[in-house]
């Protein structure tokens, strides 16, 4: 190995080590989200305890104030379909839940969604509309599919089962884990990492009980103006039945 090759090897190795350290540090530093940290932007998120939430509304969206937008995880128990369904803009009824990274607003976000019905699997997509911030402005424009698992690749989620979905972003590289196992690692694109926002969650037509884990935002990156959306607080509710 000549000196040029050796230096290149060292550079690549150093970059890989830094990426691994970042991913490990994110997982280790993840803290349970408290109700006071949550900004509900759509639907309803209920508090079951200081560290446990429930969702029973057909469509819910929320972000965590002062969170690192490069990491998010939910440890959840699937409680079944909602009593009423809310179709997507396409008219389809989909049951899914997931985490959002770089969630700046309704128009600029990375989605990591676990589909429960009618298809089963994980779908990763970006939604990018640089000069827009509200759903009224962007609607369903700006979506790009990054990854979709193959049919039968993941088992169906059954009522009463508990699982963990975790996503970590390092530069453009996204790592997604289910129940501690890597299911995808890849590039989400330059446009998706040029925006900054928060760590969040999304659910569609599912009832779920969950613990939400995020990493605190670095002081140097703190966003003084907070989410650029209208926030509703978490509400107090008794534990739902299964």
Residue 3 lies in a domain: no
pLDDT at 60: 97
Band of residue 196 on the pLDDT scale cut at 50, 70, 90 = confident
Residue 188 lies in a domain: yes
Domain of residue 143: give its range.
Answer: 32-236
The residues, any chain, with a CB within 8 Å of residue 12's CB and separated by 6 or more, are none
- The answer, yes or no, to whether residue 242 has pLDDT greater than 60, is no
List pLDDT tens digits, range 166-192.
999 999 999 999 999 999 999 999 999
Determine the average pLDDT of the residues in 109-138.
95
Please state, for a pLDDT cut of 90, what percent of the chain lies above it. 72
Chain mean pLDDT for the chain: 87
pTM, two decimal places: 0.85
pLDDT at 227: 58
Residue 92 lies in a domain: yes
Q: Which residues of 82-101 are buried (b: 16+ CB within 10 A; e: fewer)?
A: beeeeeeeeeeebbbbbbbb
Please give the Cα distance from 70 to 168 (Å, whole number).
Answer: 6
Domains held by the chain: number: 1
- The answer, yes or no, to whether residue 239 has pLDDT greater than 50, is yes
Look at 6-20, 32-46, 117-131, 214-228 and tell me which has the smallest mean pLDDT.
Answer: 6-20
Please give the Cα distance from 104 to 202 (Å, whole number).
Answer: 14
Residue 204 lies in a domain: yes
pLDDT at 194: 85
Residue 76: half-sphere exposure toward Cβ, Cα within 13 Å: 27
Please give the Cα distance from 177 to 76 (Å, whole number).
Answer: 14
Please give the Cα distance from 239 to 128 (Å, whole number).
Answer: 37
Q: Which of 164, 159, 171 is nearest to 27 (CA)?
A: 164
Residue 220 lies in a domain: yes
Residue 7 lies in a domain: no
Residue 231 lies in a domain: yes
- The answer, yes or no, to whether residue 5 has pLDDT greater than 70, is no
Residue 90 lies in a domain: yes
Q: Which of 231, 240, 215, 217 is nearest to 33 (CA)?
A: 215
List pLDDT tens digits, range 56-82.
999 999 999 889 999 999 999 999 999
Q: 147 vs 225, which has greater pLDDT?
A: 147
Determine the average pLDDT of the residues in 200-221.
90
pLDDT at 18: 41
Determine the average pLDDT of the residues in 206-210.
98
CATH code assigned at 55: 2.60.120.560
């Amino acid at each position: 190995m000549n000196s040029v090759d050796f230096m290149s090897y060292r550079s690549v190795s150093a970059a890989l080590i830094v990426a691994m350290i970042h991913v490990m540090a994110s997982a280790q530093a993840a803290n349970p989200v408290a109700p006071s940290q949550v900004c509900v932007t759509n639907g309803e998120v209920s508090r079951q305890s200081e560290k446990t939430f429930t969702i029973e509304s057909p469509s819910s969206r929320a972000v965590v104030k002062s969170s690192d937008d490069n990491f998010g995880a939910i440890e959840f128990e699937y409680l079944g379909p909602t009593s009423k369904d809310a179709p997507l803009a396409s008219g389809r009824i989909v049951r899914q839940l997931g985490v959002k990274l770089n969630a700046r607003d309704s128009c600029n976000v990375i989605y990591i969604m676990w589909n429960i019905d009618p298809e089963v699997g994980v779908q990763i997509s970006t939604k990018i509309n640089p000069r827009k911030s509200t759903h009224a402005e962007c609607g369903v424009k700006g979506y790009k599919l990054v990854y979709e698992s193959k049919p039968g690749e993941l088992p169906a989620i059954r009522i009463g089962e508990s699982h963990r979905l975790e996503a970590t972003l390092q530069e453009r590289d996204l790592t997604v884990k289910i129940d501690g196992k890597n299911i995808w690692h890849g590039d989400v694109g330059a446009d998706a990492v040029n925006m900054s926002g928060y760590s969040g969650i999304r659910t569609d037509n599912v009832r779920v009980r969950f613990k939400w884990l995020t990493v605190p935002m670095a002081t140097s990156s703190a966003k003084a103006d907070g989410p650029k959306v209208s926030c509703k607080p978490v509400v107090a509710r008794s534990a739902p039945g299964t």
